[in-house]
Structure 1
């Protein structure tokens, strides 16, 4: 087995080196033309600074890569080499504003080749994104409050109650995936949900992996999983179109029906709709489950914060009968709970940042940015910057008490044309989760100082956050 692993590793190194040599040549040519590039360094001749970029997160300090280079080179923009690409990292609110405000003028959204192989998005991305935003507006998603409440109630009854200890991340993923299946497809068959959740688990490790498609690699496993998921979802899409045409399904019963009733959705192929739905599920499933996990972490760690959330949610529960479901007005009253969630999102954002690509040569802050360079914005250049958030490592929900934050400093959902379209849906899902959590249990961490790992796709706790549960007395 060791010999096999060494052989595979050697092959990966050889192939990656060939690719990187091309990248290095491309960079050298670019440097010869553009002499006023941002300050910085490329790192190692072949692998750049990708290893430092990734490992700083795995060591629990993703901000270190960004902050160290901001202090050494520039607080505005610095040069590096990431994901086999020449890159410039834009820092601070001004950098965020520039990238978010110049979509399709100087920059465009960019995803690594590995992501595109797993999720082949439609070529009509702008129109599709517009359609997604329309169907995730607050006035539309409010119809899902009672549905998510029912899913949450059943989830806690079957997965949490009667347990002395649970593995939090495992259960939050189960919760968010079930919510997605129910609200996106009107499916609550446990067997179907379980059959699809397995392949979804294989997607995340491949999304930002080394772009080598060989048997046994994370990319190959993710591609195979993606193909299976799209086939399953495309079958549902095909049947739903028939049911809508025959009046057996409502145009507003779930996200899929809303999509297929839209003018753009009506002409999309089943495989295209499946790819869109798959992308939405990845965003909602992984990101929201991660945030819910860290909410449990901080509520168990900080008794005063827990008591504030418990008091607020108890008052809401007192206004309802035992069988009455939550509604939009109830969610709107969860102001302190949302402040807590916002502080979690500041300290542990579901994504550390994303890439753009320069579509033309331009100048930023006096430096030349060549066409084709990849441009990265990072939550950590502002979220943990004491210039914008005093005592940035302190957990303080009062930061969001109707205080005006400096624009473009709080960006857990991104911004501009690619502001997360599921932001309001995630808010709803998180608050309903908190409502049931604190009303049922007090919490205690089984591992007091569990290590946090920051992957490119989502942060997680090293051991999945085991939590002791103490049910409230009737």
Structure 2
């Protein structure tokens, strides 16, 4: 619950300088993750952590060649430094909990230490690092392309703005609450359509647990399989005119099961789905109620994957205060 309260309580100003060169490495999402997971608020320390995390995240999706100067090699070195730093935070928190200086509800780290029993600091650090990487890059990618598509389609921007205004007009207290998030149905449809066209994770690997055949191909047990969210989302059998941006696809019951998989599906669905939804909707709420914007060079800015989807020119925009 501390996680939800911290995120929902965020209702502060957005610096215009941070919007002029919006990219998947938005500092906001990483700062929120550090605060919610580790109660880490020091901006300089968060910045240093983010640099290491960026190096690791890029290396995770690189060719695994461990030679000096390669992305993979740099990621290995950065991961060792990260594990050392996060392990130090864990040891300090253990002492605080032992001395009664920290509460179990303080953050996710405290909750884990109080509930998972004895575990090695390094193993717990790996789990925290994994959650931080997932909570940073994927949500940042979605927020970036939401800004892109809202600029491309002013009528959709207006519908999002209208929904957010209606929520604000109905409120009696300051700051967002959980019930406000639940009312952002059209805004979430927009975010879902962004994730359909630009999945923050294009796909991942699974292992065949038994022999099976698929469209004439025999897949032996134990083989590694790559499932592609991008290919599934652009399949016209599931999404008519798949290239067209249409948030109304998600009205009512939405797409058929396992045809829309930005968070995966089944028992291994991403556990951070609701966390990501909170981040994304709060960013949308604070952006549209404060600003309007235009793309600086919409025809020149293409989408590339390196290793996650990003605008090739960093998505420069011109912003205007909301009247």
TM-score where L is the length of structure 1: 0.65
- Secondary structure of 1:308's partner? helix
The Cα offsets for residues 282-324 of structure 1, whole Å up to 9 and x where unpaired, read as: 1110000000000000111110110011111112222336x71
Cα distance in 2 between the residues matched to 1:147 and 1:331 = 14
- Are 1:213 and 2:71 counterparts? no
Deviation at 1:353, TM superposition (A): 1.1
Partner of residue 12 from structure 2, selected from 141, 145, 153: 153
After superposition, the Cα gap between the structure-2 partners of 1:271 and 1:226, relative to the gap in structure 1 and judged at 3 Å, is same
Cα distance in 1 between the residues matched to 2:80 and 2:19 = 36
Residue in 2 that maps onto 1:429: 279
- Are 1:166 and 2:20 counterparts? yes
Residue in 2 that maps onto 1:84: none
The Cα offsets for residues 190-243 of structure 1, whole Å up to 9 and x where unpaired, read as: 111011111112112211222221111111100111111111111111111121
- Are 1:223 and 2:76 counterparts? yes
Residue in 2 that maps onto 1:243: 96
Cα distance in 2 between the residues matched to 1:191 and 1:150 = 23
- Are 1:403 and 2:253 counterparts? yes
Cα distance in 1 between the residues matched to 2:239 and 2:6 = 37
Contact 1:164–1:469 (Cα < 8 Å) also in 2:
no
- Secondary structure of 2:319's partner? strand
* Residue range with higher mean Cα deviation, 289-298 or 207-216: 207-216
Contact 1:152–1:175 (Cα < 8 Å) also in 2:
no
Contact 1:152–1:433 (Cα < 8 Å) also in 2:
no
* Residue range with higher mean Cα deviation, 143-152 or 433-442: 143-152
Contact 1:151–1:178 (Cα < 8 Å) also in 2:
no
If you compute each CA radius of gyration, which structure gives the higher value, 1 or 2? Answer: 1
Partner of residue 341 from structure 1, selected from 191, 199, 202: 191
- Secondary structure of 1:247's partner? coil
Deviation at 1:257, TM superposition (A): 1.3
Residue in 2 that maps onto 1:292: 143
The Cα offsets for residues 313-356 of structure 1, whole Å up to 9 and x where unpaired, read as: 112222336x7121101111111100110110111111111111
After superposition, the Cα gap between the structure-2 partners of 1:363 and 1:399, relative to the gap in structure 1 and judged at 3 Å, is closer
* Residue range with higher mean Cα deviation, 375-384 or 328-337: 375-384
Residue in 2 that maps onto 1:132: none
* Structure 2 unmatched runs, 5+: none
Deviation at 1:273, TM superposition (A): 0.7
- Are 1:281 and 2:140 counterparts? no
RMSD: 1.9
After superposition, the Cα gap between the structure-2 partners of 1:404 and 1:296, relative to the gap in structure 1 and judged at 3 Å, is closer
Residue in 2 that maps onto 1:192: 45
Mapping of 1:238-387 within 5 angstroms? 238-262=91-115, 265-320=116-171, 324-364=174-214, 367-387=217-237
Alignment coverage as a number of residue pairs: 322
- Secondary structure of 1:442's partner? strand
Contact 1:147–1:183 (Cα < 8 Å) also in 2:
yes
TM-score where L is the length of structure 2: 0.94
- Secondary structure of 1:236's partner? helix
- Are 1:458 and 2:308 counterparts? yes
Contact 2:160–2:187 (Cα < 8 Å) also in 1:
yes
- Are 1:392 and 2:242 counterparts? yes
